[in-house]
Structure 1
Amino acid sequence: MAYTPPNPFTTRPTLQGTFGMAASTHWLATASAQAVLERGGNAFDAAVAGAFVLHVVEPHLNGPGGDMTGIFATAAEPARPRVLMGQGPAPAAATREHFLAEGLELVPGAGALAAAVPGAVDAWLLLLRDHGTWELADVLSFAIGYARDGHPILDRVASTIASVAGLFTEFWPTSADLWMPEGRVPAGGDVLKNPAYAAVLERLVAAGTPGGREERGARERRIDAARVEWREGFVAQASAEFLARPHRHSSGTDHAGVITEADFAGFTAGYEDATTLEFRGHTIAKTGPWGQGPALLQALAILDGFDDDRLDPSTDLGAHTILEAQKLAMADREAYYGDADVDLGYLLSPEYAAQRRRLIGAEASHGFRPGKVPGREPFIPPLRTEYRLPSHAAGQDCPVGAAGEPTVLPTGETRGDTCHLDVVDRWGNIVSATPSGGWLQSSPAIPQLGFCLGTRLQMTWLEPGAPSSLTPGRRPRTTLTPTLVLRGGRAVTALGSPGGDQQDQWQLLYLLRTIVGGYGPQQAIDAPALHTTSMPGSFWPRTWTPGGAVVEDRLGEEVITALEGRGHIVTRAGDWTLGRLSSVGRDPATGLLTAAANPRGNQGYAAGR
């Protein structure tokens, strides 16, 4: 029997219309994307415009020196979901031996030694070239305006800067110059400018229009010229030169970055076929195993064998079942996923899902339990419940607030998150994207550019033999994981969430509630969330909580007490703390469009008509 929402109340309506819809984690990005739609642009023009605005207005959550993963379908090919791959690889000199020689046993969570090759900007420009319609200058005008003229910063941006002010002042003076004007931490609502980044974007535009816009038939060549300038020009040169200087890392020790101009030049973004799974009459599309997306598909495959009443996150039986399925899928993620040869056919098969399903009992599991894949040995990572700095770093400062992706901690405390945006247009183009990395607390700001590089290499292991071991030229296994849902061979929903290891866990709740439970989009986003921490974290210092479950208090005392009675180690995170989902949708039969966004943090908004 299907379940229904226990409370029809929502914080805001699910938007409905027929023209175009946008939703993101910041109202200025949403408004910019919607403005593009209103002026005749398509979903891809709008998404790119919104994404570059996110670089400016959510610098604590993403930046141009980071990475992104997108998934989309075009009006011309509505049955073919495609992945936009904007995850750069490890630099050529980022070897395991180099890190060990530097006295490190983990890739640091802050500092340029952890930088993968930036992939976000090239990916967005590729999408604009191939599927957009607008000129680059017009798409970037929104971000250039906010960077040059300023924008009122969020309270969370100000608090993030405050948390790392000591690090900036003592060890990263270029970051202090950029983010602490006149030597003080800005307050929420202060107007902050980034003229250096505005100049970067203007130089990219100029690279493609040396003689103006008279040559109207060469839009694609103009965008490609900007891509070449990014990869081979002043951005690569300034980054490599500046980050070669030793600076403080989250290890409490000083190291130089190893990224070079050749690393920049050697990477180009691209497209891939999506990995898909059929679930209750819907096709769920995700990235390949270089992202964590197939773990959501594995969880769905496991849960598909249960009756509907066991798929309701609002009951103790449903919450318990979902948490246990997530643990099994995440264990397989750690054991088998990476930029490597991964047997997804077996991992997503009904036979394997049935094996895993039989492991779910009435009590919470506290072990790390990857499955057995024929011909493969599962990688068993170091299972640390706490992490102490090595003795050679004793007494050194470990950058508080810079130790990994700003996401929900095991305590429920939130230090920011990643970003997300979704756009759908009236023609049926639809895109979901999760930009991240390169946040202002990642590494020292490069003064000529107005941004820093990311730290995605912290998702790799220095232990040999893992599919996600640090390997030059390979992509780190990323947590960035947007979702596309198809029904009847056509894309009907794009969704995603910030949150590191929690991204797919929160999206799983949305899918169960909308597909099985009959919730509307805003109801599913507003409903109480939960997730497991019973797996090694993807971010430094990569600890885990055996049996750990983090829940919003709104789940209810009766359900939470029952989960504890089953043996879950429950952390109560507060009423409105977990999840920052957004979604857009389109009904192919009627053309009706929808959009919904997360109210938590008073930051995400949807717009449309």
Structure 2
Amino acid sequence: MPFTAPPDFTTRPTLRGDFGMTASTHWLATASGQAVLERGGNAFDAAVASAFVLHVVEPHLNGPGGDMTGIFATASAPAPTVLMGQGAAPAGATIAHYAGLGLAEVPGAGALAAAVPAAVDAWLLLLAEHGTWELGDVLAYAIHYAQEGHPIVANVAATIERVRALFAEHWPTSAEQWMPGGRVPEAGEVVGNPAYAQVLRELVATGEGLPTRAERIAAARTEWRTGRVAQEIAEFVREPHMHADGGEYAGVVGREDLAGEQARFEAPVSIEFRGYEIAKIGPWGQGPVLLQALRILDGFDDEHLDPSTELGAHTVLEALKLALADREAHYGDAHGRDPQLLDWLLSEEYAATRRGLIGEKASAAFRPGTRPRGKAGPSAGAGSAGGDSAAEAPGGFAPPLLTRAQWEAGGAASGAHLGVGEPTRQRGDGADETSADGTHRGDTCHLDVVDRWGNMIAATPSGGWLQSSPTIPGLGFCLGTRLQMTWLDADSPSALEPGTRPRTTLSPTLVSKGGVPIMALGTPGGDQQDQWQLLLVLRLLVGGYEPQEAIDAPALHTTAMPSSFYPRVWEPAGAVVEDRLGEEVIAGLRARGHAVTQVGDWDLGRLSVVTRDPETGQLSAAANPRGAQGYAAGR
């Protein structure tokens, strides 16, 4: 049985051409990247230009004090490569230190939750190794919008409004930056960030007079990690300030941490699915969730893989629950690289045991697989009624399973903690950063670029949101809060530990066929990133949808796993769906036991994708219409 036919119309056309394509979560970033392509730059020059513009135009979703991951392939070396821009925990970020402050979890806002910033260094590394442009030319777009201003989108103004009291009462430097004169800017108002423009100009100036492009960019990287930016960060975070739990603490990022953090390239993790190779970041992040879900689903016929039907939506949700349970029990950077972990998690035998757990009804249990002792092979996994828990799994971790109702009943009433968790868009009064109805509209940014030569990249910059921690005077940005994804439990594979990376949700995707890259894609959305990408991959590779059709199709995801974001709550059997999935399908999911939350017709996902046909050189691109903010451009 073929997939459900896509609608007769799409919100936008799938763009087609043979010159170059750019897509991102903000039209100014897309336009800037495309402008670079038009002026002779390659995909990597364009991606770097777009990324720095995103720092300026989506400050509520990312910033220079944050992090990123990317995955790319070059025309001359088509094997996918990971661009690793996820900073590690600083030397002072120990479980003992946080426990000594009386903390049971890393707060969701405040500098104590900051990993070492690595996004800027990663973009400069990419430019140095694979770009062609001078740094000043690439940064000119971001410098212009930071210095001269740009019309802010409604979500930026709404974010500032939600944290107005926090800024006014506790974070005066943020109030000065984002509420000049004590007033929240209105949507469409021209807002700039001259302090950040100056930071970028200084990076360019550092390399002036050096003889080669490589040396000039290297000088900027050194300046970022050891110069004025590093000094002002280290000095500012020493001052205690309000965190998400209401406590006053100092941050722990120091100058040595900043000087020692360098971005790098890594090998990806890949599987084959229906004749395509799918490449992701490794299990130090959540990338293998998509690969595990595809492994499980690959054993079903196409009828079970269509997310627009009751059977397909149920099967997809159940596969995601199993993959996300393994994420909690087994993924993480804290205990070092285990070469056998992925051999087990991505094996055909293990996928078959997990597939066998999917029944006609929704599971309300948390069911990570039990890893066998002394070998890489799979176990039978958890039973259909819950079976083995993570605590029983050798090498596994049993996270606290706390529902939002339990968290609030424990004294954490909704709205009591300003700035918690991921910066999602929600309905209601907006006091709590995680919506009561489960709506998640993205916690970050994304960009995809492909050029006429066949260079291709998908990247997801995030962190350092304007509401993450207080703005650092003279820099125009704040530090991120990625350490909230770690556990203050040494038994966890994602435990807080100096020098290790938090288990990031940033998870772009590169798809190849016959060893040649054909597709780069991704989305914001925290825990939903690989869930929404799974829908896109299935519709493109199995359903035969066009890119814009696949992005426009109704979306869904599960909330039946501990959130990666403070306060780490979960909803057993939780499923969030767009109303366009249809009354009959939604009723069928409820009848199967899914705890369904409906969130309107156009609320889930901010996907974008670029493609290239290696035989013809034809390119395409598509971007998410939800929120009227993301756009693709190309010719």
Matched-pair contact (CA < 8 Å) for 2:325–2:561: yes
Q: Is 1:561 paired with 2:613?
A: no
Are 1:137 and 2:136 matched, yes or no?
Answer: yes
2:594 is aligned with 1:598: no
Q: CA deviation at 1:401?
A: 4.1
1-side partners of 2:128 and 2:169: how far apart?
A: 42
- 8 Å Cα contact 2:464/2:477 also seen in 1: yes
What is the aligned partner in structure 2 of residue 341 from structure 1? Answer: 337
Q: Does structure 1 conserve the Cα–Cα contact (< 8 Å) formed by 2:41 and 2:133?
A: yes
1:527, 1:551 → 2: CA distance?
Answer: 12
Write the mapping of 1:144-293 to structure 2, written as runs, cut at 5 A: 144-209=143-208, 211=209, 215=211, 218-293=212-287
- What are the superposed Cα offsets for residues 220-254 of structure 1, whole Å, 9 maximum, x if unpaired? 11001000000011111100100110000001111
Counterpart residue type for residue 50 of structure 1: S
Q: How big is the shift at 1:380?
A: 0.8
Deviation for aligned residue 1:373: 1.6
TM-superposition CA deviations, 1:7-29 (whole Å, max 9, x none): 23210000000000000000000
Distance apart, 1:4 and its partner CA: 4.5
Report the 3-state secondary structure (helix = DSSP H, G, I; strand = E; otherwise coil) of the residue aligned with 2:564. coil
1:414-453 pair list within 5 angstroms: 414=440, 417-453=443-479
Aligned to 1:114: 113
In structure 1, distance between residues paired with 2:349 and 2:438: 36
Contact 2:441–2:604 (CA<8 Å) still a contact in 1? no
Given that residues 5 and 518 in structure 1 are in contact (C-alpha distance below 8 angstroms), is that contact kept between their aligned partners in structure 2?
no
Is 1:468 aligned with 2:510? no
1:507-522 superposed matches below 5 A? 507-522=533-548
1:97-121 superposed Cα distances (whole Å, 9 cap, x missing partner): 1111111111000000000000100
Which whole-Å deviations, capped at 9, do the CAs of 1:270-305 have from their partners, x for residues lacking one?
000110010001000000001101011000000000
- The residue aligned with 1:7 is 7
Percent identity between matched residues is 68
Q: TM-score, normalised by structure 1?
A: 0.97
Distance in 2 separating the partners of 1:4 and 1:155 = 35
* Residue in structure 2 matched with residue 325 of structure 1 by the alignment: 319
Q: Which runs of 5+ in 1 are unaligned?
A: none
- Partner SS for 1:283: strand
* Structure 1 SS opposite 2:326: helix
Q: How many equivalent pairs are there?
A: 602
Q: 1:395 to 1:521 in 2, by over 3 A?
A: closer
Q: Deviations over 1:136-181 (max 9, x none)?
A: 0000000000000000000000000000000000000000000012
State whether residues 486 and 493 of structure 1, in contact with CA within 8 Å, keep that contact through their aligned partners in structure 2: yes
Q: Distance in 2 between matches of 1:253 and 1:396?
A: 17
Q: CA deviation at 1:405?
A: 4.2
Give the structure 2 partner of residue 364 of structure 1: 362
Point out where structure 2 has 5 or more consecutive residues left out of the alignment: 374-393, 427-434
Partner secondary structure for residue 485 of structure 1 = strand
What is residue 575 of structure 1 aligned with on the other side?
601
Q: How far apart are the structure 2 equivalents of 1:397 and 1:548? A: 22
Q: Are 2:107 and 2:420, in contact at CA under 8 Å, matched by a contact in 1?
A: no
- Equivalent AA in structure 2 for residue 311 of structure 1: L
- Shift, 1:488, TM fit: 1.5
- Pair 57,195 (structure 1): closer, same or farther in 2 beyond 3 Å: same
1:529 aligns with 2:551: no
Q: Does 1:385 align with 2:383?
A: no
Q: 1:410 to 1:526 in 2, by over 3 A?
A: farther
Residues in 1 aligned to 2:254 and 2:503: alpha-carbon distance in whole angstroms: 21
Code of the residue aligned with 1:155 in structure 2: it is A
Q: Distance in 2 between matches of 1:377 and 1:103?
A: 27
* CA distance, structure 1, for counterparts of residue 5 and residue 57 of structure 2: 35
Give the stretch that moved more between structures: 411-420 or 168-177.
411-420
Judged with a 3 Å threshold, the aligned counterparts in structure 2 of structure 1 residues 153 and 377 are, in CA distance, closer, same or farther, namely: same
After superposition, what is the alpha-carbon deviation per residue over 1:192-238, rounded to whole angstroms, capped at 9, x for unaligned? 011000000000001111x3x7x3xx101100100000001111110
Q: Distance in 1 between matches of 2:127 and 2:342?
A: 31
1:50: which partner in 2? 50
Contact 2:6-2:549 at 8 Å conserved across structures: no
**CA–CA distance in structure 2, aligned partners of residues 171 and 500 of structure 1:** 27
Offset from partner CA, 1:332-386 (integer Å, 9 cap, x none): 0000000133410110000000000000000000000000222243211000002
1:389–1:116: structure 2 CA closer, same or farther, 3 Å change rule? farther
Change (3 A) 1:263 1:357: same
Q: Match for residue 306 of structure 1?
A: 300
What does the per-residue CA deviation read over 1:508-567, in whole Å, with 9 as the maximum and x for residues that have no partner?
000000111010100000000000000000000000000000000000000000000000
Three-state SS of the structure 2 residue aligned to 1:473 is coil
In structure 2, relative to structure 1, the CA distance for the partners of 1:292 and 1:141 (3 Å cut) is same
- Worse overlay, 395-404 or 119-128: 395-404
Letter of the 1:154 counterpart: V
Q: For residues 103 and 424 of structure 2, what CA distance do their matches in structure 1 show?
A: 22
State the distance in 2 between where 1:334 and 1:602 align: 34
Does the aligned pair in 2 maintain the 1:535–1:545 contact within 8 Å?
A: yes
On the 8 A contact 1:292/1:480 being kept in 2, the answer is yes
Q: Distance in 1 between matches of 2:369 and 2:440?
A: 32
SS in 1 for 2:317: helix
Distance 1:459 1:465 in 2: 15
Distance 2:589 2:136 in 1: 54
- Using the TM superposition, give the Cα deviation of residue 398 of structure 1 relative to its aligned residue in structure 2, in angstroms: 4.1
SS in 2 for 1:22: strand
Structure 1 SS opposite 2:55: helix
* Per-residue Cα deviation, 1:381-420 (whole angstroms, up to 9, x for no partner): 00000264899x9899844344334367461434653100
- Helix, strand or coil: the match of 2:465? coil
Q: Tell me which residue corresponds to 1:546.
A: 572
Q: CA deviation at 1:449?
A: 0.3
Amino acid at match of 2:342: L
Q: Choose from 352, 363, 372 the match for 1:374.
A: 372
Contact preservation (8 Å) 1:407, 1:418: no
Distance 1:368 1:405 in 2: 26
CA distance in 2, matches of 1:146, 1:281: 43
Q: What SS does the aligned partner of 2:458 have?
A: strand
Change beyond 3 A, Cα 1:188–1:608: same
Q: For residue 263 of structure 2, what is the amino acid of its counterpart?
A: A
Q: TM-score under structure 2 normalisation? A: 0.93
Are the aligned partners of 1:346 and 1:352 in contact in 2 as well (CA < 8 Å)?
yes
Check 1:470–1:405 CA distance in 2 against 1; reply closer, same or farther (3 A cut): farther
> 2:385 corresponds to which residue?
none
Change over 3 Å in CA distance of 1:566–1:232 after alignment to 2: same
Query: One-letter code of the match for 2:369?
Result: G
Shift of the alpha carbon at 1:313?
A: 0.4
With 181-190 and 397-406 compared, the bigger mean Cα shift is at 397-406
Q: 1 CA distance for matches of 2:246 and 2:414? A: 5
Q: Distance in 2 between matches of 1:322 and 1:167?
A: 40
CA contact (8 A) 2:442 2:606 kept: no
